[in-house]
Amino acid sequence: MNAADGLKKPTQPHNSGSKSKGLLAGLSERLTRAGQSIVGQVQSLVRRRPVLDDEFLEELEAILLQADVGVSTTMELLSGLSRSLKESGQGKALSEEDVLRYLKEEIVEVLGSHEPLRKAMEGPTVIMVVGVNGTGKTTTVGKLCHRFRKSGSEVILGATDTFRAAAIDQLEIWGKRAGARVIRHEEGRDPAAVAYDTCQAAKARGVDYVILDTAGRLHTHVNLMRELEKVKRVVEREIPGAPHEVLLTLDATSGQNGLSQAATFKEAVEITGIALTKLDGTAKGGIVLAIKDSLGVPVKLIGIGEGIEDLRDFDPREFADAIFQGLA
């Protein structure tokens, strides 16, 4: 256990819905680079085909699919866009501005409203972070811990990834950086036992947040998925209403391949939100829409860089502004 008994209680609750002014600049630069953005390709399409016909819709469909939007979501966007353009009487003389404006509104409609991280009414808020190997779980845990500590909240981290000593050590490093306690057992011990001890420590010390870093596992590993369910049951038993969030880390660069993984995790542990990592590593970004539309699970956090501050709340309107470069 990494003790930090001198930590003060928070003077104000964490506002998980707070926005960062750097979001638009950080995303716009990456999502519009090298002419690969949705905006650039749509502008080119309208210049070549300024009429709302089958050929226009087929090419727009290809653009959206290449951006990882997904088949179902693409069809939904095309239907809404066609309806809006026809109702406005602009189907026979399309302009770049009109098409982009309506497309932006359709995207915001699909994504829905901003959904902040849930917080317990009383007692510690428990967040489980799950996902496959290599999606940035431990890094997400560390950055989230840093955010909570920065706002004045007291945090305990649970190293329930007992399969890899390196994972435990990495979490210890994050804990020290953020000034948070880390509950750990020896490598190979029962992850559920770590979760139990973490919950007990959280209740005894009256902390604000418990964040559990779980072991990476493929969605096809039945035994490991059952083990994850066991960890969740322990948390539910020890802290009423917990876990308040089960965040699935999903690599944005994996595109549509990540959706089947997410569906299995959702079935096993009822994920409540997505932490979409490595969004700075893709010029597409359409995966955000596919996740929401296909899984019915909101993206709550996005990683747009390697820095400790580069974990941001996800806001649909801000995301659309980033893609469309502030188009009104």
Burial 286-314 (b: 16+ CB within 10 A, else e): bbbbbbbbbbebbbbbbbbbeebebbbbb
Tokens of 214: 């779980």
Tokens of 133: 């190997």
Question: Does residue 171 share a domain with residue 79?
Answer: no
Q: What predicted TM-score, i.e. pTM, was given to this entire model?
A: 0.84
Question: Does residue 197 share a domain with residue 48?
Answer: no
Q: Is 182 in contact with 97 (CB distance < 8 Å)? A: no
Q: Looking at residue 61, what is its pLDDT? A: 96
pLDDT exceeds cutoff 80 at 11: no
Question: Does residue 186 share a domain with residue 99?
Answer: no
Q: Is 106 in contact with 80 (CB distance < 8 Å)? A: yes
- Identify the domain containing residue 274 by its residue range: 125-323
Q: Is residue 266 part of a domain?
A: yes
Let me know if 67 is exposed, middle or buried by CB neighbors in 10 A (0-12, 13-18, 19+): buried
Q: Is residue 19 part of a domain?
A: no
3-class DSSP assignment, residue 88: coil
Question: Does residue 105 share a domain with residue 182?
Answer: no
- pLDDT grade, residue 69 (50/70/90)? confident
Q: Is residue 54 part of a domain?
A: yes
Query: Residue 298 sits in a domain of what CATH number?
Result: 3.40.50.300
Q: Is residue 289 part of a domain?
A: yes
DSSP secondary structure, 101-165, as one string: HHHHHHHHHHH-S--PPP--SSS-EEEEEE--TTS-HHHHHHHHHHHHHHTT--EEEEE---S-H
Q: Is residue 274 part of a domain?
A: yes
Q: Is residue 182 part of a domain?
A: yes
- pLDDT (mean) for 107-121: 92
> Among 64-78, 195-209, 227-241, where is mean pLDDT lowest?
64-78
Pick the more confident residue, 259 or 11: 259
Comparing CA positions, the residue from 226, 227, 268, 266 lying closest to residue 248 is 266
Query: Residue 35 sits in a domain of what CATH number?
Result: 1.20.120.140
pLDDT exceeds cutoff 60 at 324: yes
- Angle at which helix 96-111 crosses helix 38-48, to 10 degrees, equals 140
pLDDT exceeds cutoff 60 at 108: yes
Q: Who contacts 204 (Cβ-Cβ below 8 Å, separation ≥6)?
A: none
Question: Does residue 258 share a domain with residue 166?
Answer: yes
Which pLDDT tens digit goes with each residue over 265-305? Answer: 888 888 999 999 888 766 567 788 888 888 888 999 998 87
Q: Looking at residue 16, what is its pLDDT? A: 40
Which pLDDT tens digit goes with each residue over 17-61? Answer: 344 445 555 566 665 553 357 888 899 999 999 999 999 999 999
Q: Looking at residue 327, what is its pLDDT? A: 57
Q: Is 304 in contact with 280 (CB distance < 8 Å)? A: yes
Question: Does residue 129 share a domain with residue 101?
Answer: no
pLDDT exceeds cutoff 70 at 15: no
Average pLDDT of the chain, as a whole number: 84
Residue 59, CA atoms < 13 Å, CB-side half-sphere:
15
- pLDDT (mean) for 83-106: 89
Tokens of 195: 């979760």
Question: Does residue 103 share a domain with residue 228?
Answer: no
Task: Give the domain-ending residue among 82, 111, 140.
Answer: 111
Which pLDDT tens digit goes with each residue over 139-156? Answer: 999 999 999 999 999 999
**What percent of the chain is modeled with pLDDT above 90?**
51
> Among 42-46, 98-102, 257-261, where is mean pLDDT lowest?
257-261
Q: Is residue 13 part of a domain?
A: no
pLDDT exceeds cutoff 60 at 13: no
Question: Does residue 173 share a domain with residue 47?
Answer: no
Q: Looking at residue 8, what is its pLDDT? A: 34
Let me know if 259 is exposed, middle or buried by CB neighbors in 10 A (0-12, 13-18, 19+): middle
Strand ranges (DSSP E) for 137-261?
155-159, 181-183, 209-213, 245-251
Q: Is 78 in contact with 103 (CB distance < 8 Å)? A: no
Q: Looking at residue 28, what is its pLDDT? A: 60
Pick the more confident residue, 8 or 63: 63
Q: Phi and psi at residue 246, in whole multiples of 5°? A: -120, 100
3-class DSSP assignment, residue 211: strand
pLDDT exceeds cutoff 80 at 314: yes
Cα distance between residue 69 and residue 46, in whole Å: 20
> Among 124-138, 206-220, 249-263, 306-320, where is mean pLDDT lowest?
249-263
Q: Is residue 116 part of a domain?
A: no
Overall number of domains in the chain: 2
Question: Does residue 257 share a domain with residue 154?
Answer: yes
Question: Does residue 304 share a domain with residue 211?
Answer: yes
Residue 14, CA atoms < 13 Å, CB-side half-sphere:
26
Which pLDDT tens digit goes with each residue over 159-212? Answer: 999 888 888 999 999 999 999 999 999 888 999 999 999 999 999 999 999 999
The strand pairing partners of 213, in sequence order, are: 129, 159
Q: Looking at residue 3, what is its pLDDT? A: 35
Question: Does residue 205 share a domain with residue 102?
Answer: no
